[in-house]
Amino acid sequence: MRRVTVRFANLDVEFTDRDRAIKQVIDWGERGTWHPIVIYGPEGCGKSALLKQAAAILRDLGYEVFYLNPLGYVFDADVSFPDIKRAFLEFVREALAENALGRIAWAVFDFVNKVLSVRRGKIAVIADDVFQVIGVDKAAAYVKGLLNMIEHPHYNYENMVILVATSEGLSREEIGRHRWADIMPMWNMPREGFEQLYGRIPGDKPPFGEVWKSTGGNPDKLAELYRNGWRVGDAVRKLMNDKYLTADIIKKWRDWLNEAIEDPDRLWGRGAPEDLLRWLVGKNLIIYNMHYREQQFWVDQPPPERDQELGVGRYIAWQTPLHREAVRQALREVSA
């Protein structure tokens, strides 16, 4: 199966590793997905790259593919019908001119029906972080609409694959209230594959072991360190600003956060305040309620059961070691 080229750290690189995820996409393509598959995981873990690869795989398998990446302003209809493709791209241009990204996400339902009204075939919808543009409060309704396309189509089809990715912990909670999707986590890259990606970065760089301990296999954090000259402290400061780790918040939860720095599982089953957990999840600092580590529950390889060095617990994990360090540094500053 051909591997696509993705943009990484201002470099054009071939989609790296994730062999098991590629096999999963092929399997979905061969039998279809009975429910929308919602993929969630740490910010920057490679979900967008995987969806781009998935779109190419499914097109090679004969699928008509709608690809939506609102945050990247990338929309495509890789379909066999020029009139429908042209109409979709014209709709996209008009919506972008009006700054109405959410409208494009909802319009895909109509364009899928246009394709199926012409031919009974195989169709795929690949949607990357659409919940950020339609609103987390509408995430469940959107997924329900996708499920209805599978279960109650206006036109018959041969096979359908629907893949949706999100980094937002709160959208996972919203969708999880219902049984409208198969929610599957995806983790940062495993060490061997991540070392391949690290090896593609030119120039002088720190030893791989140091980079692994800082990033935990997160491609976006690897790219960020490369861009800033491998200054870990700068990456920590940026996260502190991006996540708005204010003194008031840190002081309020100081005792719990100090424990979570040592072991994130200390927030599990001990009555940790609900407001604190929602704040950590909402800021995409932790993944709460990690799945069992059996491979069938995960996209690609699951993380280890526990890895204290990287901040991975059995039930809760820091999204990357840098996220943990940002909170640790914030705690230091309020204690100084």
| Final residue of a structural domain among 156, 185, 214 | 185
Q: Are residues 134 and 163 in the same domain?
A: yes
- Determine the pLDDT at residue 170: 62
Q: Are residues 125 and 259 in the same domain?
A: no
Q: What span, in angstroms and rounded, lies between the C-alpha atoms of 239 and 325? A: 9
Q: Are residues 200 and 177 in the same domain?
A: no
Q: Are residues 206 and 130 in the same domain?
A: no
Model pTM?
A: 0.94
pLDDT tens, the chain, 336 aa long: 789 999 998 899 999 999 999 999 999 999 999 999 999 999 999 999 999 999 999 999 999 999 999 989 999 999 999 999 999 999 999 999 999 999 999 999 999 999 999 999 999 999 998 998 998 889 899 999 999 999 999 999 999 999 999 877 767 777 877 789 999 999 999 999 999 999 999 999 999 999 999 999 999 999 999 999 999 999 999 999 999 999 999 999 999 999 999 999 999 999 999 999 999 999 999 999 998 999 999 999 999 999 999 999 999 999 999 999 999 999 999 987
- Determine the pLDDT at residue 254: 97
Q: Are residues 207 and 169 in the same domain?
A: no
Q: Are residues 197 and 166 in the same domain?
A: no
Q: Are residues 66 and 133 in the same domain?
A: yes
Q: Are residues 178 and 237 in the same domain?
A: no
Q: Are residues 48 and 161 in the same domain?
A: yes
| Final residue of a structural domain among 162, 185, 208 | 185
Q: Are residues 216 and 115 in the same domain?
A: no
Q: What span, in angstroms and rounded, lies between the C-alpha atoms of 106 and 131? A: 11
- Determine the pLDDT at residue 230: 98
For 194, residues 6+ apart whose C-beta sits below 8 A from its C-beta are 17, 188, 212, 215, 217, 219, 222
- Using N-to-C axis directions, what is the helix angle for 169-176 and 274-282, rounded to 10°? 110
Q: Are residues 11 and 96 in the same domain?
A: yes
What domain range includes position 249? 191-335
Question: What is the domain-level CATH number for residue 62?
Answer: 3.40.50
Domain total in the chain: 2
| Final residue of a structural domain among 135, 162, 185 | 185
Q: Are residues 127 and 175 in the same domain?
A: yes
